[in-house]
A = this chain, B = another copy of it.
């Protein structure tokens, strides 16, 4: 079962690119993982927040994977702890779905249309984090969930560097 993280905008900060690569490599030992970055809309800085999230929403809708469960990553979504995220992952793996797709929106969030099409949302934190840092946090949590399901000691900080 594939896990796909579909994001608006490219990751630019070098330390975040490195961090994502670090956890992604580990995560791929457990399951197929795809990070899909959609380049920012041209002239997006000139759009109003509503126009921007509307246009980004249209782009995201085209990227929805058929046969996948889809969740938005949204600070107002359900807030699992790491153990319950691991339980979700286990349930997803036992489902008949082809995969799970997580959507990370742009800086002004998701359009009403996108929220209607993808009503389920998971929140990593009540705090607002930069969009590229959210990717890093999510990849780390997916890796952590895999180690929890395998009963490996990473969850209590025994990461070997």
Enumerate chain A interface residues (CB-CB to B < 8 A).
Answer: 12-16, 18-19, 22, 45, 49, 75, 79-82, 85, 106-108, 124-131, 133, 136-137, 140-141, 144, 155-159, 161
A157 B133 Cβ-Cβ under 8 A? no
8 tightest CB-CB pairs across the interface, nearest first?
A: A107-B157, A15-B18, A125-B125, A15-B19, A15-B15, A82-B128, A81-B126, A79-B126
> CA–CA, A126 to B81, complex, Å?
5
Contacts of A106 in B (CB 8 A): 157
* Distance of A14 Cα from B125 Cα, bound (Å): 24
In the complex, A49→B81 CA distance in Å? Answer: 21
Which chain B residues border A75 with CB–CB below 8 Å? 81
Partner of A125, one of B16, B127, B130, B131: B127
Residue of B nearest to A138 (CB): B127
Give chain B nearest CB distance to A36 CB in angstroms.
Answer: 19
A-B contact pairs, 14 of them (CB 8 A): A13-B19, A13-B161, A15-B15, A15-B16, A15-B22, A81-B128, A107-B156, A108-B156, A125-B126, A128-B155, A129-B137, A130-B140, A130-B157, A137-B137
Whether B12 and A161, one on each chain, are in contact in the complex, defined by CB atoms closer than 8 angstroms, is yes
> In the complex the two chains form, what is the Cα distance from A124 to B127 in whole Å?
7
How far is B30's CA from A38's CA once the two chains are assembled, in angstroms? 34
Determine the residue in chain B with the shortest Cβ distance to A148: B128
For the complex, what is the distance from the CA of A25 to the CA of B140, rounded to whole Å?
Answer: 25
Max chain B Cβ within 10 angstroms of own Cβ: one of A12, A106, A107: A107
In contact, A127 and B80 (Cβ under 8 angstroms): yes
